[in-house]
Amino acid sequence: MSVKTNNIYGKIVISNRTIERFVSKVAMDSYGIVAFVNKGFFDSVVSFIKFGSKIKGISVSSQGDRIFINLSVNVKFGVSIKAVVESLKESVKYRVEKFTGMIVDNINVNVMGVTK
C-alpha cells in the first residue's frame, strides 16, 4: 500500500516501505533507542519468509493521506522509558510529516525490552 495525495504539481505517491525506511533512520537517531525488534513469534516467522521485504519492528499503514505507524523497540538500560517514548513519537511525527507532507494520525510504540 502507499500514501497518495494531489497538489498543484500533480499526484504524489509514497510507498509504505519508503516511509518505514525513513522512520527507521529517524528513530535510530533518537536518544535511548537501541534496536527494533519483531513484536512476536508471528512477526518473526513472516520476516523470515519474506526476507528483506519488511523492516523489523516497524509497521506503516495508511488510509487516504493519513499515516499510522507502529514501532517495536528495545530501549537503553537506565533511561526514562516514558521520556524516550514521548521524544521518539514527537520526532517521528514531525519528521515524517515534513518528509511526506501528509498527516501522521497515530504512532504506537511497543517497548519490547531493555538493553545495556
CATH class of 2-115: alpha beta
CA atoms within 13 A of residue 38's CA, in its CB half-sphere = 10
Q: Delimit the domains of the chain by residue range.
A: 2-115
| pLDDT, averaged in runs of 10, over the chain (116 residues) | 80 89 93 86 51 75 88 94 96 94 93 92
Return d(Cα 49, Cα 92) in angstroms, integer: 28
Residue 29: closest CA among 94, 91, 114: 91
Q: Which residues contact 108 (CB under 8 A, 6 or more apart)?
A: 69, 70, 71
Give me the phi and psi of 79, to 5 degrees please: -100, 160
Q: Which pLDDT belongs to residue 44?
A: 47
pTM to 2 decimals? Answer: 0.81
pLDDT number for residue 20: 93
